[in-house]
Amino acid sequence: MFRVSQALVSRIISHWLDHMEGQMRGYVPWLGRDVIQSTMPQCFKEHYPSTTCIIDCSETPLQKPYKFNSRAESYNQYCGQNTIKHLLAIAPCGLIMFISSAYGGRCSDKFITAHSGFLENLHPGDEVMADRGFRIRDLLLERKVKLVLPAFTNGGLPLSEEDTTYAGHIANVRAHVIRVIHRLKNYRIVSETVPINLTPKFDKILRVCAALCNLRGDIIQEEMEE
């Protein structure tokens, strides 16, 4: 249509991606405790007032790599396909405070948490909420950080009334995380199958999309308006 080569288009996109990532890096900030407290929604204040962040991993389908080792590293047995995976840390107010580099889909949540640089943002007394798949209590205890997980059944026994209520409260606040991930996935470049030739730039793409999500405004306010 524009009578330019594919190579030129690729160079232009790469140039502007580098520029945008550099300019927007500050829009994914790790908030201080005072800011987290002052922007905390009521649903957190009532049940989890000490929450620093909520973490989760998100995956994006990946074009099947040519090399066997790359295929093995990115193959996720749970999904049954090759994927790339990244860690998100979200403030109670819905702001993305941290997004990791992309890892092969075979990597566990614990491995990514330990090696992504996320832990370096935490301080003694912080409180991290996660899904039960995050077996990271030992990593957080080393930093004197508390891990909050949903209650789960033991040996098939039903949850007590107290545990059921507790699980319900966590599900309510974690719903905000799901909405943030959905907002990020609205950018098709991080939700549709990633071509192999795009993987070297994918970390920058993630950071730009996370910054754009934060610039869209308060996700909690959106929920109230709906």
> Of 20 and 153, which is predicted with more confidence?
20
Least confident of 72-76, 126-130, 170-174: 170-174
Of 197 and 152, which is predicted with more confidence?
197
pLDDT of 25 strictly over 60 = yes
What is d(CA 207, CA 80) in angstroms, rounded to the nearest whole number?
Answer: 27
Average the pLDDT over 110-133 and give the result.
95
What's the pTM?
0.86
